[in-house]
A and B are shown apart, each in its own frame.
Chain A
């Protein structure tokens, strides 16, 4: 059974701080990794994708991938109250299916 594991949280950070979200995956065949943000009752919204070991930055967001450790992370700099949501980590093999983690609840306090 291919699994993606995330700490459910909630992770609470003050406004302006760095939020660090982590994810591990079980399937070494996974090729690509995605972070989605999901507000309550809404659909997953793509934040970032990452395919290669190392860091990938996009604005306030940095994704990190370590395939040897089967570990993916997302850093959110200068966290804002509007960043409060559930963050979903997903892994895909070369193919179609996304396997999602249960998500980490992030709360940014002003």
Chain B
């Protein structure tokens, strides 16, 4: 069964450093998403991406965040200058279509900023 994959599973970084989180969405899916979950809190939407551009982003997704689809399979989230409060689980998701389509989640990357 096709699944979303993410690398790395864990990442530890120093405050102020740049990190890139990688995702491989399900191969025939067209819509890609990033969510995050701070420990003990809700899953929060960050950004959605379609046709090589951002289709929606949340207030969390400020100028320190960026997304890219550098090739036909990968979808990346870059955090330019990490802050302590960026420590969270970051989930990538994909869906075949938008609207009512189900989003399938990857296993997540646990980011710890020291």
Which of B42, B43, B44, B55 has the most A CB atoms < 10 Å from its CB?
A: B43
Is A17 an interface position by the 8 A CB rule?
A: no
Residues A30-55 near B (CB distance < 8 A): 31-32, 34, 36, 42-46, 49, 51
Considering the chains assembled together, what is the distance between the CA atoms of A44 and B4 in angstroms?
12
Chain A residues within an 8 Å CB radius of B35: 98
Q: Interface digits, B32-45 against A, CB 8 Å rule (1 contact, 0 not)?
A: 01010000011111
Residues A43 and B56 in contact, CB atoms below 8 Å apart = no
Residues A92 and B100 in contact, CB atoms below 8 Å apart = yes
Residues A88 and B43 in contact, CB atoms below 8 Å apart = yes
Residues B55 and A31 in contact, CB atoms below 8 Å apart = no
Give the B interface residue count (CB, 8 A): 25
Is A85 an interface position by the 8 A CB rule?
A: no
Chain A residues within an 8 Å CB radius of B44: 100
Name which residue of chain A comes closest to B35, CB basis. Answer: A98
Residues B104 and A46 in contact, CB atoms below 8 Å apart = yes
Is B103 an interface position by the 8 A CB rule?
A: yes
Residues A12-37 near B (CB distance < 8 A): 31-32, 34, 36
Residues A96 and B100 in contact, CB atoms below 8 Å apart = no
Considering the chains assembled together, what is the distance between the CA atoms of A88 and B35 in angstroms?
14
Task: Take A96-B48, A96-B56 as given contacts and tell me if A102 and B42 are in contact as well, using a CB distance cutoff of 8 Å.
Answer: yes
Q: Kindly provide the distance from the CB of A47 to the nearest chain B CB, expressed in whole angstroms.
A: 11
Residues B91 and A97 in contact, CB atoms below 8 Å apart = no
Is B75 an interface position by the 8 A CB rule?
A: no
Is A95 an interface position by the 8 A CB rule?
A: yes
> Which residues from chain A sit less than 8 Å from chain B, CB to CB?
31-32, 34, 36, 42-46, 49, 51, 88, 90, 92, 94-103
> Which residues from chain B sit less than 8 Å from chain A, CB to CB?
31, 33, 35, 41-45, 48, 50, 55-56, 58, 89, 91, 98-100, 102-108
